[in-house]
Amino acid sequence: MAKTYVGSRLRQLRRERDLSQAALAQTLGLSASYVNQIEHDVRPLTLPVLNRITESFGVDATFFSRDDDSRLLAEIQDVILDQELCKSPIPLHDLADMVQNHPEIARTMVDMHRRYRNVRDKLSVATDVRHTAAHQPAVAQALSMPHDEVRDFFYARQNYLHTLDIAAETIAQELSVSTFAIRNTEEALSQRLTNRHNISVSTGAEIGNKLHHLDTSTGTLTLSSRLVAGQRAFRMSAELGYLEAGEIMHELVDAHHFTTEEARMLALRGVASYFAAALMLPYRLFHQEAERSGYDIEYLCQMFGVGYETLCHRLSTLQRPKLRGIPFTFVRVDRAGNMSKRQSATGFHFTHSGGTCPLWNVYETFANPGTIMRQLAQMPDGRNYLWIARTVKHHQGRFGETGKLFAIGLGCDARHADRTVYATGFDLRDFSSAVPIGAGCRVCTRENCAQRAFPAINRTITVDPHSSNVAPY
C-alpha cells in the first residue's frame, strides 16, 4: 500500500476507546514509541499494523481512508458556505487538510454550526408568530424542534446502535425468526408478550386513526385492521423492546442529552423502532441474505415479510464491526421535496441551506409509482453514487381519506455498486453519462445547470441585459 499517514485518526480511535498510547501499543503488540511515531505522522501506517487494528478494534479499513472523511468534509463545507458566518470562501483543499489532520476541530465546528442553525430557525419561527396569543403552542414547538435533535442523534451514530442490535438479535434467535416465516414470527411475538408480560394481543380492531395502542391498565395491545402481518409484527416487536431492552434504550437516549422532554420521547420511540427492525431482520441472517441476493430489496421484502421502507431503512444500518454491509444513505421525501427521514452510513451529505436537487431520481418516482428507478449520479466534487428509488404508500384507509405517498431513496458510493443487482447494465468504469446532481441549488458549485432554481450563495451573479443562456444564473 502507498504511504499513508493516519496520526489523527489513530489518536481519535484511541481516545474513543479510552486507551493510553502504552495500552494501545500493548494491544497491537507494538512498542509505545512506534505508536507515538504513527500518531505524530513520523511513520506511515503499514498493512500489517492496519490488519492488527481492524482485528483488535473491529473498525473497517476505510476508517483510515480519506474517502471516509467525505461526510465530515461535506459538513464542514456546509458551515463555510453559510455567509452569515463566513464572508470569504476557503479553498476545498484547505478544508480537506483540516478534516484529515484535525478532525476533532472540524467536528466541533460542525456541531457549533448545527446548534447555531437550530437556534436561528427557532427564533425565526417564534418571531413570526409571537404577536398572536393563539399561536403560543406553535412557538413552544418551534423552539424545541425535537425531530432535528433525533435526526442528529442517529446521524452521529451512523445509524447503527450496537448494544441494542445485539440484544434484538438475541431475542430473534429465541423466537426462531427466519426467512419466509412472518406468520410464525407474529405468532411467536404474541405468545412472548402474553406468556412473559401478561399482555394480550387483539388484532383486526377499529381504533380510529391509531395503528396500535397498548393499554397498560388492562394489559391489552390492540393492533389496527389496517395493518398487515409484517406491520403487526413490527409494532409488537417495538413494544417488546420497551419491556425487554428498555434499560439499553434509555441508556442510549440519556447519553445524548436532549434539550427537551419531547425530543427525548421522540428519540425513545425511534430507538424502539430500531429495535423492532433489528428483531425482525436480525443482523447476521439479514446481512447474509442481503449479500447473497445482491441487495435485491423487493426480494428481501418477500423473504422477511416486511415493507419496502422498513427494509431499506434496515439496509442503511448494516455497520456492525467486522460484518459491515454496503454503507447506504436512506432518505424519505414527499412530492413537495420535504425530507422527513434522512439517515446515512456513508459520506453522502445534503445541505441544510436549501432544497435538494431536482435532477435526483427520487423525484422521478412520483411519475412512476411503485417502480424501482436507478440512477448513476455524480456530485460536484466528482464522487459517484448509485441511487435506487421507489414510491411507497402508507396505510391506505377508507375512501376519501387523505393518503400518504413518499419516495424512498437508497444510495451508496459507486465503488460498492457492483455488489448490488441494481448495477446490472451500468458501465461502472465510465461515469461520463452519470447525472450531475448537487447538494442543493444554493450551495451547488456547478455552472451552466439548466435546472438551477437559485444562484449559488458563494458566487457573485453576473447579469448581461443583452444576452441570455440556458442556465438562469
Average pLDDT over residues 399-415: 87
Check if the beta carbon of residue 363 is closer than 8 Å to that of residue 407. Answer: yes
Per-chain mean pLDDT for the chain: 85
What is the domain extent for residue 293? 146-325
Share of the chain above pLDDT 90, in %: 43
Q: For 58-135, where are the alpha helices, taking DSSP H only?
A: 70-80, 92-101, 103-129
Q: Which of 296, 325, 354 is at the close of a domain?
A: 325
- Digit-coded pLDDT (tens) for 302-342: 999 999 999 999 999 998 887 889 989 999 999 988 888 88
Q: Is 134 inside a domain boundary? A: no
Residue 380: per-residue pLDDT: 79
Do residue 347 and residue 461 come from a single domain?
A: yes
Q: Is 435 inside a domain boundary? A: yes
Q: Is 92 inside a domain boundary? A: no
State the cell numbers at 66. 480519506
Do residue 257 and residue 301 come from a single domain?
A: yes
Do residue 199 and residue 276 come from a single domain?
A: yes
State the cell numbers at 144. 424545541
0.85 exceeded by pTM: no
Q: Is 219 inside a domain boundary? A: yes
Do residue 287 and residue 364 come from a single domain?
A: no
Number of domains in the chain: 3
Q: What is the CATH number of the domain that holds 397?
A: 3.30.450
Q: Is 430 inside a domain boundary? A: yes
| Residue 109 pLDDT grade (very low, low, confident, very high; cuts 50, 70, 90) | confident
Do residue 319 and residue 220 come from a single domain?
A: yes
Do residue 282 and residue 342 come from a single domain?
A: no
Q: Which of 302, 325, 348 is at the close of a domain?
A: 325
Q: Is 310 inside a domain boundary? A: yes
86 backbone φψ class: left, alpha, beta (φ>0; ψ -120 to 50): beta
Q: Is 109 inside a domain boundary? A: no
Query: How many other C-beta atoms are found inside a 10 Å radius of the C-beta of residue 221?
Result: 25
Do residue 335 and residue 318 come from a single domain?
A: no
Do residue 299 and residue 380 come from a single domain?
A: no
Query: How many other C-beta atoms are found inside a 10 Å radius of the C-beta of residue 305?
Result: 23
Give me the amino acid identity at 154.
F
Do residue 54 and residue 200 come from a single domain?
A: no
Q: Is 99 inside a domain boundary? A: no
Polymer length of the chain: 473
Do residue 372 and residue 461 come from a single domain?
A: yes
Do residue 358 and residue 256 come from a single domain?
A: no
Average pLDDT over residues 195-218: 91
Do residue 287 and residue 332 come from a single domain?
A: no
> How far is 32 from 21, CA to CA, in rounded Å?
6
In terms of pLDDT, which residue wins out, 333 or 98? 333
Q: Which of 25, 41, 64 is at the close of a domain?
A: 64
Pairing of strands 404-413, 384-394: antiparallel
| Residue 385 pLDDT grade (very low, low, confident, very high; cuts 50, 70, 90) | very high
Q: What is the CATH number of the domain that holds 27?
A: 1.10.260.40
